[in-house]
Chain A
């Protein structure tokens, strides 16, 4: 084998320029594939982080059947047993109790359907930094008869700090839910579909309004590590099986986000596939040219007793070297860039940045750093080299020395 490695290595330097051009094409394809995917994956995790911390939590616990039919009548009381189960899960970082429902919100002549979220002020703030997103006014205290509303909704209802919001809805078991609340603050929520309908109330205030003392619709659960999600869900579903509770992940809670990422991801894969094709054709073209140029030499080698399969090994090794050269260069070239932007995310500028900042989100695009992605790229390039040399190798097995040497 050493002999073949030596042959292959020397052979690729016979035509330095071609080797370098081929390796460069692999390099560029890999470089862009890695950078592009890192940006994509980074933006996905950014999107997910935002949505998870703002709204859903990593997972939620409801009364059984609540998610499919979100009625105020399907609320729950979080008993000690449930809290005990959550307490003992070490992956759980935080449990945020909520009462969520709909209501009609009005202010003067303006009326709009709104989403009321009764939250524990301190816990919700810890989870989604609600107080940090205030654009006007102040954060509320527990049991205060006050509301915090989304910016778009406030604009629509022409509400300012100190104004009064009237909420009207259906309470627990058919009771009427109604209340008047002073606007304590206005927040920018970086999800437009929430920003135009969110009304936050302190949890107890909401429970009073809905005539549902101590009742909750939701326990939003955050984990220490995003990666623990499936383990945590499995554990909790086990612990809660047969109980009055259900466990839903953020994927089930926000299917539209999952869908959005999935379709974006698909377009990413199409781009990757195009880059892979470039590599494949580059390698294929090079190996075909090389075989054609060396027909006579191959003819002589077969004539004096070299088996074609060994020749095929040498040619495959040559392409593997070139592919590896490009791959290593691509990895070496992209790694510092990706690591740098992983820790120092790209800052968006201009209007985009401003509008994102208005929502209280940092206008950044982090790059994901995923070692397994590097591994899969390496495997894919290896597979491409193998596929690209299949036909050329086949053509080697068809070389007839007499013909090759005459030609």
Chain B
């Protein structure tokens, strides 16, 4: 089932003297349940592309359709709600709200969605168990390692039951052990619960775990392949 379509998407930055064509005519389709990596050297346009998919940035040209909604047609405040209900985000860093515990962070979006307390508590417990942090539920982010924080971020991204999770270099700040651990968790959630993950990286160990690898360079799709 197709959940995400990009049609000839362009992004041109005009902010400085030189024009930057960060994304240059990208067309892609994603099905439910994918575990896809977007790979490319620094400056190739990965972040720009993921931001547009996540509705955080508008394409200069082209359209992005999530589950039959063209997100370019949404008003700013509608877009915020759209993100809250449809997309899970994991960023490279500064993901969590520092004054909230792991569990409160996971519940945060469910709060925004106005879900009842019982449901929030049950789901946050379940998700934190799934990412192996059942014993750290009441810790604040500053008391957790970078890897643990990213696992909380994954749990939070899933809390809202999004259509897919976008992760922009989620392992960039992690050591190799934590990287492996986070990827295993993401893979398991993908396999067992059919959570769709689209993540960017330039780490080869991460690339190896992906089932689909999309390589971009200079804002263009170089290759798009499925591995084992």
Tell me whether A and B are bound partners: yes
What is the CA–CA distance of A304 and B91 in the complex, to the nearest angstrom?
10
Q: Is the CB of A3 within 8 A of B83?
A: no
Q: Is the CB of A303 within 8 A of B54?
A: yes
Q: Is the CB of A11 within 8 A of B99?
A: yes
The reply to whether the CB of A305 lies closer than 8 angstroms to some CB of chain B is: yes
The reply to whether the CB of A383 lies closer than 8 angstroms to some CB of chain B is: no
Most chain B beta carbons < 10 A, residue from A7, A14, A302: A7
A residues in contact with B91, CB < 8 Å: 300, 303, 405
Q: Is the CB of A10 within 8 A of B99?
A: yes
Shortest Cβ gap from B52 to chain A (Å) = 10
Most chain A beta carbons < 10 A, residue from B56, B111, B156: B56
A residues in contact with B99, CB < 8 Å: 7, 10-11, 14
Q: Is the CB of B97 within 8 A of A305?
A: no
Return the chain A residue nearest B94 by Cβ. Answer: A296
What is the CA–CA distance of A189 and B111 in the complex, to the nearest angstrom?
73
B residues in contact with A401, CB < 8 Å: 56
Supposing A305-B109, A306-B80, A405-B91 touch, asked if A297 and B160 sit within 8 A by C-beta, the answer is no
Shortest Cβ gap from A308 to chain B (Å) = 8
Contact with A along B95-128 (1 / 0, CB 8 A): 1011110000000110111000000000000000
The reply to whether the CB of B29 lies closer than 8 angstroms to some CB of chain A is: no
What is the CA–CA distance of A402 and B51 in the complex, to the nearest angstrom?
7
The reply to whether the CB of B184 lies closer than 8 angstroms to some CB of chain A is: no
Contact with B along A298-316 (1 / 0, CB 8 A): 0011111111101000000
Q: Is the CB of A305 within 8 A of B94?
A: no
Q: Is the CB of A304 within 8 A of B100?
A: no
What is the CA–CA distance of A305 and B89 in the complex, to the nearest angstrom?
10
Contact with A along B124-168 (1 / 0, CB 8 A): 000000000000000000000000000000001100100000000
What is the CA–CA distance of A308 and B95 in the complex, to the nearest angstrom?
17
A residues in contact with B56, CB < 8 Å: 303, 401-402
What is the CA–CA distance of A14 and B98 in the complex, to the nearest angstrom?
9
Q: Is the CB of A304 within 8 A of B83?
A: yes
B residues in contact with A301, CB < 8 Å: 97
Return the chain B residue nearest A7 by Cβ. Answer: B99
Return the chain A residue nearest B51 by Cβ. Answer: A402
Instruction: Out of B51, B94, B111, name the residue touching A297 (CB < 8 Å).
Output: B94
Contact with B along A1-14 (1 / 0, CB 8 A): 00100010011001
Q: Is the CB of B81 within 8 A of A305?
A: yes
Return the chain B residue nearest A299 by Cβ. Answer: B94
A residues in contact with B57, CB < 8 Å: 402
B residues in contact with A307, CB < 8 Å: 77, 80
Return the chain B residue nearest A406 by Cβ. Answer: B47
Most chain A beta carbons < 10 A, residue from B99, B108, B113, B157: B99
The reply to whether the CB of B183 lies closer than 8 angstroms to some CB of chain A is: no
Shortest Cβ gap from B135 to chain A (Å) = 22
Q: Is the CB of B98 within 8 A of A305?
A: no
Besides A10-B99, A304-B157, A305-B113, 17 more A-B contacts (Cβ < 8 Å) are: A3-B111, A7-B97, A7-B99, A11-B99, A300-B95, A303-B56, A303-B83, A304-B108, A304-B109, A305-B81, A305-B109, A305-B112, A307-B77, A401-B56, A402-B51, A402-B57, A405-B91
